[in-house]
Amino acid sequence: MPAHDVLIIGAGLAGQRAALAAAQGGASVAIVSKVHPVRSHSVAAAGGINAAISVDDDWHSHAYDTVKGSDFLGDQDAIEIMCSEAPAEVMHLEHIGVTFHRNEQGLLDLRAFGGASMKRTAYVADITGQAILHVLYEQLMRHHETVDRFEEWFVTSLLRDERGRCCGVIARDVRSGRMEVFHAKNTILACGGAGQVYSPTTNALIVTGDGIAQAYRIGAPLMDMEMVQYHPTTLVENGLLITEGARGEGAVLLNSEGERFMEKYAPNKLDLASRDVVSRAEQTEILEGRGVGANKDGIYLDITKVPRKRTLEALREIVNIGKDFAGVDITREPIMIRPGQHYIMGGVKTDVNGATPIEGLYAAGEVACVSVHGGNRLGANSLLDTLIFGRRAGEHAAARALSMPMPSAANGQLNDDVAAIDAILARDHSGRRISEIKRELGETMNQYVAVYREQEGLEQALGVVKRLQEEAASAYVDDHGTVFNQDVLGALELGYMLDCAEATVVAAIERKESRGAQFRTDFPERNDEQWLKHIDISLGADGAAGGPQISYSPVTFTQWQPEERKY
């Protein structure tokens, strides 16, 4: 029965960074992940990481760009922390081995990215996430004596004591099927977003909102859940990501008439306006009949503008993606893209140290909402978010652990989870297949809770989600074994996804304005008077039976007052 000062769930960038920071803070640390750490979805982050490290840059400028990018919904105290601590964090990564690309002087090279007022994105070709993730894992291997790793352990729920505080998790060893209680003074959720709620999505199959739903189920509030980012350049073929780094290197967007249409929507920043702006522009072009391809549902991304050698050196991954997944040589011809679900700005509500309102529970990375991204995240701010708040959560949790005893869990929780899994295994084949429910959920969300939204569609989506929740309760599995039973874990993940979807739709219905990623065609204006506030979704006193409850929390302002947002 493992017991640790700090227990981290998820081993992407936020989780690994938290683990290393907590270990350095003198705590006993364990990190649990349902996949091997290097398979975590942080690996797919391509373009880079933002930090004001150039001599003529200033973190205030980075912070302002982030505030503006968030459509003034981001909390400015948190944004100031993130941006001011960014340069030191990037230098730390450099010192432990990340192979950031250099300029001719041998210093860190920087590339342009969306919504940024200058070049401030450090990068490793277009595999920045992979390069950082693998280096952090090297550090975990190096510090194996101070960080216990539980790789391929699936967390089924968060453990509570009699007073409702979080005191660890219950998890299943994927390889053996064994269920175990992990006791911890503090638990840090770092297990990513919920992209699989949508179909298509750029997100990996493992990104199923586990941590968001688990926290929600023990009473933690979710914040900004309506804010779902559609990335402007995802492959029409299958939804895979084409990095914003392509436009950062000079690629442009063209409609069916060969027009560089961003001139209309963002005359200054053009193709490098913030993502919500570019995605809406593309969607408008498609809706107005200027899309490309057989179904006129795509936009051309023309990377041939970038010198070929530079493309091969700095955008190698998307050269391969073009070749392997779309049959296109991006150095010679444009590639067909469209907006696709990519990121959720919302998540478990935390303070600037990653602490949630549930005592003993922290969250960091995409699972969390601090909120530094508000209504729209800037490209290359997500890696930064994971690392800064992962580290802060690790440090804070370690310090807190030093002055507290090991809490004791309320009885019966392990048995409840074992029984829940046994019940899934015992279901007869009268219900639907899990894969069918998942597909219907994804397609529904992508139809009604996408770039453009309106009341009727959102209500329809809510109806579907509620029906699917009922159907999921009787969905059956084929695998009845214990070793690598991915089928039964898929049933649990489906439940998590449905919780996340419900929170997103409820919040999207609630916010009757257009801000950031939420664009309501029935309320097309931003309305600061009524809606310059966060929407929090939580389960009330009667738990799941009472359904999601809505409340609000204020946006924190420090230096920047809301103004009209133009790119």
Partner 1 sequence: MAETHHAPEQFTLRVRRFDPESGEAPYWDEHTIELEPHRSVLEGILQAKARFDGSIGIRCSCRAAICGSCGVRINGEPGLACHTHLDHARASAKDGVIEIEPMGNMPVIKDLIVDMDAVHWKKIQRVTPWLLAKQPVPEREYVVAKDAMVDVTQSMACIQCGACVSDCLAMEVDPGFIGPAALAKAYRFVGDPRDDRQRERLVDLSEDPQGIFDCTHCFKCVEACPKDVNPMGQIMRLRRIAISDQHIVDANNGERHEAALTTLVRDYGLLHEAELPPRSYGGNSWFGKFHPAAGKELLSLLPTAVKAIARGKIGVKLALFGHKIPPADLQAVKRIYQTVEGRPERYELNLYISGEDEEERTPVGVTVGGDGGEDPAAAGEGSGS
Could you tell me the two tokens for 190? 């770092």
Residues 231-260 interacting with partner 1 (rule: CB under 8 A): 237-238, 240-241
Q: Which stretch in 138-146, 354-362, 371-379, 526-534 sits in contact with partner 1 by CB under 8 A?
A: 138-146
How many angstroms separate the CA atoms of 303 and 538, rounded? 44
Residue 264 or 439 with smaller CB distance to partner 1: 439
By the rule CB under 8 A, 482 interacts with partner 1:
yes
Q: How far is the CB of 14 from partner 1 (least distance, A)?
A: 17
How many angstroms separate the CA atoms of 111 and 121, rounded? 5
Q: Choose, by CB under 8 A, the member of 390, 490, 495, 516 that binds partner 1.
A: 490
Residues 51-80 interacting with partner 1 (rule: CB under 8 A): 53
504 in Cβ contact with 437 (< 8 Å): no
- The residue written with tokens 């290393």 in the block is 20
341 in Cβ contact with 198 (< 8 Å): yes
Q: Choose, by CB under 8 A, the member of 104, 257, 428, 525 that binds partner 1.
A: 104
How many angstroms separate the CA atoms of 197 and 366, rounded? 14
Q: Which stretch in 259-267, 315-323, 384-392, 551-559 sits in contact with partner 1 by CB under 8 A?
A: 315-323
Q: Choose, by CB under 8 A, the member of 11, 18, 29, 43 that binds partner 1.
A: 43
Q: Which stretch in 89-97, 406-414, 423-431, 528-536 sits in contact with partner 1 by CB under 8 A?
A: 89-97
- Reported in sequence order, the residue ranges of 273-391 that DSSP labels E, i.e. its strands, are 299-302, 335-344, 347-349, 361-363, 368-369
Q: Choose, by CB under 8 A, the member of 26, 142, 402, 544 that binds partner 1.
A: 142
Q: Which stretch in 65-73, 373-381, 442-450, 482-490 sits in contact with partner 1 by CB under 8 A?
A: 482-490
Residue 91 or 420 with smaller CB distance to partner 1: 91
Q: How far is the CB of 307 from partner 1 (least distance, A)?
A: 11
User: Residue type for 283, please?
Assistant: Q
Dihedral class, residue 484 (left if φ above 0, else alpha if ψ from -120 to 50, else beta):
left
By the rule CB under 8 A, 86 interacts with partner 1:
no
DSSP annotation string for 308-344: HHHHHHHSHHHHHHIIIII---TTTS-EEEEEEEEEE
Residue 200: is the preceding peptide bond cis (ω within 30°)? Answer: yes
Residues 458-477 interacting with partner 1 (rule: CB under 8 A): 477
Residues 381-440 interacting with partner 1 (rule: CB under 8 A): 433-436, 439
By the rule CB under 8 A, 127 interacts with partner 1:
yes
Residue 119 or 134 with smaller CB distance to partner 1: 134
- Secondary structure of residue 462 in the 3-state scheme: helix
Q: Is the dihedral of CA 196, 66, 282, 293 positive or negative?
A: negative
Catalytic residue among 111, 149, 275, 515: 275
Which residues have C-beta within 8 Å of that of residue 196, sequence separation ≥ 6? 203, 205, 206, 207, 208, 209, 438, 442, 493, 497
By the rule CB under 8 A, 268 interacts with partner 1:
no
Residues 316-345 interacting with partner 1 (rule: CB under 8 A): 316-317, 319-321, 324-328, 333-336
Site mask for partner 1 (CB under 8 A), range 7-36, x = bound: ----------------------------xx
Known catalytic residue at 400: no
Residue 241 or 451 with smaller CB distance to partner 1: 241
* Size of the residue set binding partner 1 (CB under 8 A): 84
Q: How far is the CB of 434 from partner 1 (least distance, A)?
A: 7
- Secondary structure of residue 299 in the 3-state scheme: strand
Q: Choose, by CB under 8 A, the member of 1, 56, 95, 561 that binds partner 1.
A: 95
E strand or H helix at 475: none
Which residues have C-beta within 8 Å of that of residue 287, sequence separation ≥ 6? none
Which residues lie across from 322 on neighbouring strands? none
Site mask for partner 1 (CB under 8 A), range 270-309, x = bound: ----------------------xxx-----x-------xx
263 in Cβ contact with 281 (< 8 Å): no
CA dihedral 220, 225, 229, 234 (to 10 degrees): 80
Q: Choose, by CB under 8 A, the member of 151, 471, 510, 528 that binds partner 1.
A: 151
By the rule CB under 8 A, 563 interacts with partner 1:
no
How many angstroms separate the CA atoms of 342 and 44, rounded? 11
- Annotated catalytic residues are 275
